[in-house]
Amino acid sequence: MTEPDLRLRAVVPGPPDSVYEALTDPAALRVWLTEHADVDLPDKYEFWGRSTPDGAEPHRRGTRPDRYIR
pLDDT given for residue 67 in this prediction: 56
**32 close to 22: Cβ distance less than 8 angstroms:** yes
Query: What backbone phi and psi angles, to 5 degrees, belong to 60?
Result: -70, 130
Return averaged pLDDT per consecutive 10 residues of the chain, 70 residues in all: 70 86 89 86 84 70 52
In angstroms, the Cα distances linking 3 to 53, 54, 59, 61 are 12, 10, 10, 11
pLDDT given at position 65: 56
Return the domain boundaries, the chain: 16-67
pLDDT given for residue 27 in this prediction: 94
In the chain the beta strands, taken as DSSP E runs, fall at 36-40, 44-48, 59-60
pLDDT at 2: 67
